[in-house]
Structure 1
Amino acid sequence: MVDPGRHLTRAQGRLPDVRPLDRLSSIKIKLGVLVTLTVTLAAFVTWIGLYNELGPSRTLPLAVVASVLMVQVLARGMTSPLREMTAAARAMAAGDYSQRVRATSRDEVGQLAAAFNTMATDLEQVDTLRREMVANVSHELRTPVAALRAQLENMVDGVVEPETPTLEAALAQTERLGRLVTYLLDLSRLEAGAVGLDVRPVPLGRFLADATEAAVPVAADKGVRFEVTVTPEDLHVPADAERLHQVVANLLHNAVRHSPDDGLVRLEAWTAGHVVALDVIDQGPGIAPEQRRQVFERFQRGNAPAQTGQVSTGGTGLGLAIVRWAVELHGGRIEVADSATGCIMRVFLPADPPGTANVER
Structure 2
Amino acid sequence: MRAALRIWQVVRPLDPVRSIKGKLTVLVVVCVVLASGMVVIAVRSETQIRVIMAFSMIASLLLMQLLAHSLTAPLREMTVAARAMAGGDYSRRVRVASRDEVGELATTFNRMAADLEAADRHRRELVANVSHELRTPIAALQAVLENVVDGVVRPDPATLGAALEQTERLGRLVTHLLDLSKLDGGVVPLDTREFQVEPFLAGVLRGLTVDGATAGGAWSRRGDVTLRLDVQPGGLTGVADPERLHQVVANLVDNACKHSPPGGVVTVRARAGQGPHGLVLEVEDQGPGIPAQYRTRVFDRFSRAGSPTAQGPGSDGGTGLGLAIARWAVDLHGGQIEVADGSQGCLIHVSLPGTTPVVRRPRL
TM-score, normalising length: structure 1: 0.87
Give the match for residue 308 of structure 2: 304
Displacement of 1:295? 0.5
Give the match for residue 124 of structure 1: 117
Give the match for residue 16 of structure 2: 23
Which residue type is aligned with residue 256 of structure 1? C
Number of aligned residue pairs: give it.
343
Give the Cα separation in 2 of the matches to 1:54 and 1:313.
92
Displacement of 1:245? 1.0
Match of 2:317 among 306, 314, 317: 314
Give the match for residue 80 of structure 2: 87
In structure 2, the gaps of 5 or more residues are 213-219, 359-364
Give the Cα separation in 1 of the matches to 2:158 and 2:35.
95
Give the match for residue 265 of structure 1: 266
SS, match of residue 308 in structure 2: coil
Give the Cα separation in 1 of the matches to 2:32 and 2:254.
77
Task: Sort the Cα spacing of 1:61 and 1:330 in 2 relative to 1 into closer, same or farther, 3 A.
Answer: same
Give the match for residue 31 of structure 2: 38
SS, match of residue 268 in structure 2: strand
Give the match for residue 164 of structure 1: 157
Give the Cα separation in 2 of the matches to 1:340 and 1:304.
18
Give the match for residue 235 of structure 1: 236
Give the match for residue 109 of structure 1: 102
Give the match for residue 293 of structure 2: 290
In structure 1, the gaps of 5 or more residues are 1-11, 356-361
Give the Cα separation in 1 of the matches to 2:127 and 2:244.
26
Residue-by-residue CA offset, 1:288-343 (whole Å, 9 max, x unaligned): 111111000111027238xx999976110111000001011112111111123211
Does the aligned pair in 1 maintain the 2:280–2:351 contact within 8 Å? yes
Give the match for residue 256 of structure 1: 257
Displacement of 1:174? 1.3
After superposing the two structures, state which structure 1 stretch, 125-134 or 250-259, moved more: 125-134
Give the Cα separation in 2 of the matches to 1:57 and 1:273.
82
Give the match for residue 5 of structure 1: none
Give the Cα separation in 2 of the matches to 1:49 and 1:331.
74
Give the Cα separation in 2 of the matches to 1:196 and 1:126.
24
After superposing the two structures, state which structure 1 stretch, 119-128 or 230-239, moved more: 119-128
Give the Cα separation in 1 of the matches to 2:290 and 2:336.
18
Task: Sort the Cα spacing of 1:148 and 1:40 in 2 relative to 1 into closer, same or farther, 3 A.
Answer: same
Give the match for residue 276 of structure 1: 279
Does the aligned pair in 2 maintain the 1:20–1:74 contact within 8 Å? no
Q: Sequence identity of aligned pairs in percent?
A: 54
Displacement of 1:214? 1.0
Over aligned residues, Cα RMSD in angstroms?
2.6
Displacement of 1:151? 1.4
SS, match of residue 76 in structure 2: helix
Does the aligned pair in 2 maintain the 1:304–1:312 contact within 8 Å? no
Give the Cα separation in 2 of the matches to 1:150 and 1:65.
82
Give the Cα separation in 2 of the matches to 1:142 and 1:48.
84
Displacement of 1:55? 2.7
Give the Cα separation in 2 of the matches to 1:256 and 1:147.
24
Task: Sort the Cα spacing of 1:114 and 1:353 in 2 relative to 1 into closer, same or farther, 3 A.
Answer: closer
Does the aligned pair in 2 maintain the 1:43–1:63 contact within 8 Å? no
Give the Cα separation in 1 of the matches to 2:161 and 2:121.
38
Does the aligned pair in 1 maintain the 2:194–2:240 contact within 8 Å? yes
Match of 2:340 among 323, 337, 342: 337
For residues 200-211 of structure 1, the aligned pairs below 5 Å read: 200-211=193-204
Task: Sort the Cα spacing of 1:76 and 1:13 in 2 relative to 1 into closer, same or farther, 3 A.
Answer: farther
For residues 205-224 of structure 1, the aligned pairs below 5 Å read: 205-218=198-211, 221-223=221-223, 224=225
Residue-by-residue CA offset, 1:51-88 (whole Å, 9 max, x unaligned): 55553454333322221111101221122111111111
